[in-house]
Structure 1
């Protein structure tokens, strides 16, 4: 969303000026796409991991300020909830054995952070939704101390004009009203970044949209919210509903949601930024002093803060990113599909599958999205979030298939091929994609393990809250083992 938010209330004049500045920035961005030199000669990948904090009883610990002060590492930052932290993994190349090195580095950083968190009676958990989170935890003191989070909350409710209704179906339907965006804080994800050239952006983004459904089916890890068993990846629907600025009347009129899969294949990154400006009013109309036209005319690189901030308040599952580092502009696809966890190995396997299959699909002379409607890709995405490994997904040439068949027959060979094109070493490919193969063959992801474990614990006599806490205890033990989730046993 951006860090440069200084206030929580905005005047009508500010909103008007901001709209004009965003439009001007969009015009400058269009010029830059044709005239500027973007940095992509050595494409880098990046990762952000959102985590939860729990106490000794595996209940949410609202202590991120104290924990972050102890960690004292700028790679660890606040997130929306006071029980959330985010770990920003430094950008890295894909080639060679960097994946194995990255696995060691991420584990070392998280273990060091866990040791610091322990001094405050807290543990760090990587999971899509904290299963022990209950409504009473979000009644007061749940939000991180941050102007930008308060401004976001206030802006969403100003736009909406009424409380948010959460209504999620599933084995145990959940319906509730919320007077804040607190439920959004339950959604903790892993975000994958890939730096691309302007010429390659459209086919990379289109390929990422195609992959979103299979990605989610394999990686689902969020079956519980507020004690209810809901979707395999409840985080998807919860995030969409918890940030919805539209009352029912605007939904009926077809106004687009801010959490958005999209509605069409694109031909340029400009398509996405132009949609952002055309369809979405500002939530945080913060004005900068930059004159983007003057900056470009002077031969400098405009940072376009208004356009970037606006883009950060539109939550596409594959988000376009414009950024400037050391005076050089670059473009990234930010993949926001996956939940955090269960282990570092599982997350690195998910990322290897994504980057490999993405490369192969994007390079294809007859792209799969020319044979697949955008609506079908979105339907796959929703089906995967709802049903996980039990979903039915459509794929050209195969028809409607289960995720395991799609992955084993089609996508896993493509992922191997794509990683080889990235120059990834054979042992790295085998280690990470072997995890994906095991998950597909067993049909067991984090969501499946959580549900089976809770049901087993309840059959042994535990009430649901106690079963969720004990499941999370067992989850944390296995998370630290770094053994992939498809090998985890279910207590009998």
Structure 2
């Protein structure tokens, strides 16, 4: 059963592709195929049985590689060869790798199995990496990254990344502007998508039935700001202290295909929170087709309507590839495994780290809370505007654990108060409904509670540690790496 929700390697691009030139005919044919795929999906949602008997969850964690001096190490190909584990795959930057954790159910000791698998895999990977003089690190953005590291040569040696870079800049027509105003301000320009590789995340996957998808996606949107406030872990970029979760504005800007004129005209960004609550997964795929031109107009030979007519299940290759180049923070995913289609919500909000136990606490909080909100008789998204959810999202990213967030019935309150008073009890109930063993529930959600009481997460620890007399970002990061491998939750780290 655990094999039915297989996570796709290279999901941001959709699939491996060869470098090629695209003609006008390619783009016209691709647009027609995407629309045909959308028609087929509409029919499937009405007629097809999707895999959802025992909903599975999954995890992906993106890692950074550093050398002994805590500088980014551009050696992912060597590290992956040494690790020799199919769960580990390449990522955008040569200083990135990713682990795809095999999916599992939450009930019983599912969360503990996830934790054990991740820790074992990461410990083994660190052993192989260290033998090369390189170390693995879970953190939202490497504080020691500098602008000199961000160039086209920093991209991994895979044709799909070069092709994606080429198509994004062809669509934009000019260099990318990075302008982030936080504690300090950063203004710079880049001629490649390499800054996107600075953003490393922990992604949570939840398989859902078609009839429930809208509720789960809406619920995930509602709590994204809370997730960021609790889990922020990216306060530095290019030596400057910016937002508590700088990964959010950086990723929004580093893949922006719009010129200033197109922004003024209201063209949607490809890294997108969205603009409305939905009633079906169809709404999201239809928005993809309506609003976004193709970046990688690659067609396959499948006729999805003919496949459906013959009783088969189409892969909808063009629709899923297109979806993989639109970076929603909560992304819809359609996939076919062992001949059965399934749908899932991919939550892309959280940064990586600081520790495995912190990631698992974040996951437990998300899975439990989203379950309760999605199945509530009076959904929370009927009581708050979509704009309020988006404002919470950016407030959580900007201010982290110190953020003030809006919640129906409470107004605008400190994020820690919101979690302790209202959301943690719901997360407990949600994990109970998922059948999670109470001992694992209490252990992980207890970490969220103590993180709120201590008002300390990865971002606040980094800033405090880097503020010590004589401290450097490299020295702070070396200490961070040591504490990360001890797997002590971040709210207990010394400052």
TM-score under structure 2 length normalisation: 0.97
Alpha-carbon distance, 1:8 to partner: 3.8
Kindly report the root-mean-square deviation, in angstroms, between the aligned alpha carbons of the 2 structures: 0.7
Structure 1 residue 169 corresponds to structure 2 residue 174: no
For 1:249 and 1:137, how far apart are their aligned partners in 2?
A: 30
Counterpart of 1:3?
15
1:142 counterpart = 2:154: yes
Q: Cα deviation per residue 1:206-237 (whole Å; 9 max; x = unaligned)? A: 00000100011000000000000000000000
**8 Å Cα contact 2:138/2:355 also seen in 1:** yes
Is the CA contact (8 Å cut-off) linking 2:152 and 2:192 kept in structure 1?
A: no
Q: Distance in 2 between matches of 1:7 and 1:292?
A: 26
Is residue 2:414 matched to residue 1:409? no
Contact 1:9 1:151 in 2 (8 A): no
User: 1:202 corresponds to which residue?
Assistant: 214
CA contact (8 A) 2:144 2:473 kept: yes
Q: Indicate if the aligned counterparts of 1:8 and 1:147 stay in contact, CA closer than 8 A.
A: no
* Residue 105 of structure 1: how far off its partner (Å): 1.4
1:336-371 Cα offsets, whole Å, 9 max, x none, are 000000000000000000000000101110000000
Using the alignment, how far apart are the partners of 1:49 and 1:9 within structure 2? 32
What is aligned with 2:48? 36
The reply on whether 1:337 has 2:342 as its aligned counterpart is no
Shift of residue 120, structure 1, vs aligned partner: 1.4
Aligned position for 2:68: 56
266, 274, 286: which one aligns with 2:298: 286
The 5-angstrom pairing of residues 112-123 of structure 1 reads 112-123=124-135
1:193-232 equivalences under 5 Å are 193-232=205-244
Q: Is the 8 A contact 1:94 1:422 kept in 2?
A: yes
Counterparts of 1:90-129 in structure 2, within 5 Å, are 90-129=102-141
Paired residues of 1:46 and 1:192 also in contact (CA < 8 A): yes
Q: Does the CA contact (< 8 Å) of 2:300 and 2:317 recur in 1?
A: yes
Please say if residues 220 and 232 of structure 1, whose CA atoms lie closer than 8 Å, have aligned partners that are also in contact. Answer: yes
Note the C-alpha offset of 1:65: 0.3
Q: Deviations over 1:384-436 (max 9, x none)?
A: 10011121100000000011000000000000000000000110001100110
Indicate the residue corresponding to 1:27 in structure 2. 39
What pairs with 1:210-359 in structure 2 (closer than 5 Å)? 210-359=222-371
Q: Distance in 2 between matches of 1:416 and 1:264?
A: 28
Determine helix, strand or coil for the equivalent of 1:338. Answer: coil
- Residue 480 (structure 2) aligned to one of 454, 469, 475: 475
Name the count of aligned residue pairs: 483
Alpha-carbon shift at residue 4 of structure 1 (Å): 3.4
Residue 8 of structure 1 contacts residue 150 of structure 1 at CA under 8 Å; is this kept in 2?
Answer: no
- Tell me, in whole angstroms, the C-alpha distance in 2 between the residues paired with 1:180 and 1:166: 12
Contact 1:352 1:429 in 2 (8 A): yes
Does the 8 A contact of 1:393 with 1:402 survive in 2? yes
1:427-442 alignment, distance < 5 Å: 427-442=439-454
Does structure 2 conserve the Cα–Cα contact (< 8 Å) formed by 1:8 and 1:148?
A: no
Question: In 2, Cα distance between the equivalents of 1:81 and 1:232?
Answer: 22
TM-score normalized with structure 1 length: 0.97
The CA distance in 2 between the partners of 1:2 and 1:116, in whole Å, is 29
Match of 1:397 in 2: 409
Cα deviation, 1:98-128, whole Å, max 9, x if unaligned, reads: 2112211110100001111112110000000
Q: Which runs of 5+ in 1 are unaligned?
A: none
5+ residue gaps, structure 2:
1-12
Partner secondary structure for residue 168 of structure 1? strand
Matched residue SS, 2:154: coil
For residues 151 and 406 of structure 2, what CA distance do their matches in structure 1 show? 42
Determine the C-alpha separation between the residues in 2 that align with 1:322 and 1:140. 31
**Partner SS for 1:232:** coil
Deviation at 1:9, TM superposition (A): 2.2
| 1:74 match | 86
User: Deviation at 1:139?
Assistant: 3.4
Deviations 1:174-230 (A, max 9, x none): 000000111100000010000000000000000000010001100000000000000
Question: 1:140: how far off?
Answer: 5.4
Name the CA distance, whole Å, in 2 between partners of 1:71 and 1:376. 44
In structure 1, what is the Cα distance between the partners aligned to 2:218 and 2:110? 26
Indicate if the aligned counterparts of 1:194 and 1:332 stay in contact, CA closer than 8 A.
yes
